[in-house]
């Protein structure tokens, strides 16, 4: 477990020196935005599928 902590600390120090705080925050917001877009599209598709199933236009066996 100590080896894992040493690698984690080394990675954290490396990231601290290579990335500025603005870049890190910008990357976090970009990832959050794309995650939100994907989730919204999935929710809309599920709602459309449910409406089709309720109206009887869904796939039939």
pLDDT digits (tens, 9 = 90+) for 11-44: 878 777 776 667 767 777 888 888 888 989 999 9
**Cβ density class 31-45: b for 16+ within 10 Å, e for less:** eeeeeeeeeeeeeee
How does DSSP classify residue 56?
T
Task: Return the domain boundaries, the chain.
Answer: 2-55
pLDDT-derived band at 1, boundaries 50, 70, 90: low
CB 58 within 8 A of CB 52: yes
pLDDT of residue 31: 83
Q: Which residue has the higher pLDDT, 61 or 20?
A: 20
pLDDT-derived band at 4, boundaries 50, 70, 90: confident
């Amino acid at each position: 477990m100590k080896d894992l902590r040493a690698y984690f600390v080394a990675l954290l120090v490396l990231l601290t020196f290579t990335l500025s705080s603005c870049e890190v925050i910008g990357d976090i917001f970009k990832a959050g935005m794309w995650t939100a877009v994907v989730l919204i599209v999935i929710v809309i598709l599920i709602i459309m599928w449910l409406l089709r199933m309720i109206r009887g236009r869904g796939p039939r066996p």
